[in-house]
Amino acid sequence: MRIAVAKEIEVCERRVALIPDTVARLVKQGLEVWVETGAGERSFFSDSDYQGAGATIISDTAKLWGETDILLKVSPPQEREDGRSEIDLLKEGAVLVSFLNPLANPVVAQQLANRKVTALSMEMIPRTTRAQSMDALSSQASLAGYKAVLIAAAALPKYFPMLTTAAGTIAPAKVFIMGAGVAGLQAIATARRLGAVVEAFDIRPAVKEEVQSLGAKFVEVKLEEETVAAGGYAKEISEASKQRTQEVVAEHVKNSDVVITTAQVPGRQAPRLVTEEMVAQMKPGSVIVDLAAEQGGNCACTEPGKDIVWNGVTIIGPINLPSSMPIHASQLYAKNVTSLMQLLIKDKALQVDFSDDIVDAACVTHAGEIRNQRVRDALQALNTQQSAVN
C-alpha cells in the first residue's frame, strides 16, 4: 500500500497534507509513503525531515501521481502550469483524499468520476463524535477564528483591553462575533483573552450556553423556523427571517469597534449579515473581518482577498486564513487525514466500506460514479444553468 503526499500548486496554499510525525506513524504500520520534492517547504518541513521519518522523496510529479494507491492533498486538484490537469495524472482506481469543495464545484467531482477515482472529500466528513478526529473543517476553522481576531486587533486604531494608566483609563474594545460555530467560538475566546468586551450572535439558539461559557454575551433572535441543518451546521433561512435578523443585529454592529463574521453555507453564497447601511452607521476606525469572503462575504462591502476602507470602516476579506499558519494548520490537518487513513486501511490493505457512516458520507466518487446525492444535484443545477445561458 503506497501513500503519496503531493506538493500544493495553488499560489496561496502553504499547508501540506502530512507532516513528518504522521509519516513516521504510517511507515511504522508497514505502509510506503512517498512525498513530492518540496511538498513541505512552505510549511517549514524539509525533504530531509520527511526522509528521516521514513518517506521516499519523489521529484517526478507524474510518477508520484500515477503510481500511488492513495494520494493526499489539501486543496482541490486543478490545472497545472503545463496545461495538464492534476486529475489526469492520477491512475484509474486510485484514491484521492483532499478538500474538494464538491458542492460549490461539482465539475471536479464529475472529472474524478470519469477517471474512476475514489475521492473522499474532507469537507464531507460528518460532524459526529466518532468522526471528531477526522473533522478537518473544524480544525481549520478554529485557526481561522483565532487569526481573524489578531488581524482585527492589528487593524483597529485602539487597544483591545481596558487599561488604567496615569494618563487616564482606556475603555475596552467592543467586539461582535456573528456566527458561533467553531471559528466563531475560537474568535470569542481569543478576543476575550485580549481583553475585549464580546457579544456574539447565531441563528441557532442551542449555542447560547457555549457562547456564555466563554464570557461573551449572546444576542438572541427568535425565529419561527428551524435553523439547524444536518450535522449541527447553521441552515439557510428564509428572507423574512434574514430581515428580522438584520433588524436585531444592526444596533450591535453600529456600537461595535470590531465585527467578525463567520457564517457560511456549504455550496452556496454566504448569507448577507452586514448591509451597507449597517457599515455606514459604524464609527470611523471600526474594523470588519469577513471570514466568508471566499463565498461572497457576509458583509455587502467585502472584496475577497482585499483590505478596503469604506466610509471610514476598514473591511478585511481574508482568503484561506489557516494557510497563514501553515505549521499548526498542517499539523492538525495531517492528524485529521491520518485518522481517516486508520479507518480506510486494515492489515495494510485498502477497505472502502460504505456501511461505515463516515466513509459513506465522505466518499464523493467511486467506480465511475458520483455517489453523493447533494453533489449530483449541484452538478445537475449547474448543467441546467449553463444550458439556459447557451
Measured at the CA of 362, the angle between CA 135 and CA 207, to 5 degrees, comes to 40
- Per the annotation, the verdict on 342 as an active-site residue is no
241: annotated active-site residue: no
Q: Of these residues, 29, 48, 78, 132, which one is catalytic? A: 132
Strand segments, DSSP code E, in 32-99 are 32-36, 56-58, 70-72, 95-98
Residue-level length of the chain: 390
Per-residue three-class SS string for 158-222: CCCCCEEECCEEECCCEEEEECCCHHHHHHHHHHHHCCCEEEEECCCHHHHHHHHHCCCEEECCC
> Distance between CA 2 and CA 16 in Å, rounded?
18
- One-letter amino acid identity for 148? A
DSSP assignment string, 108-163:
HHHHHHHTT-EEEEGGG---SSTTGGG-HHHHHHHHHHHHHHHHHHHHSSS-SS-E
Catalytic site residue from 51, 233, 241, 246? 233
The catalytically annotated residue of 42, 127, 192, 374 is: 127
Selecting among 14, 121, 135, 339, the annotated active-site residue is: 135
Q: Is 60 a catalytic residue?
A: no
Terminal-residue alpha carbon distance, the chain: 46
Does the active-site annotation cover 135? yes
Task: Break the chain down into helix, strand, coil percent, rounded to 5.
Answer: 40, 20, 40
CB contact burial 152-178 (16+ within 10 A = b; e otherwise): bbebbebbbeeeeeeeeeeebbbbbbb
DSSP 8-state assignment for residue 270: P
CB 145 within 8 A of CB 291: yes
Q: Which three cell numbers stand for residue 254?
A: 453600529
233: annotated active-site residue: yes
Q: Cite the active site residues.
A: 127, 132, 135, 138, 233
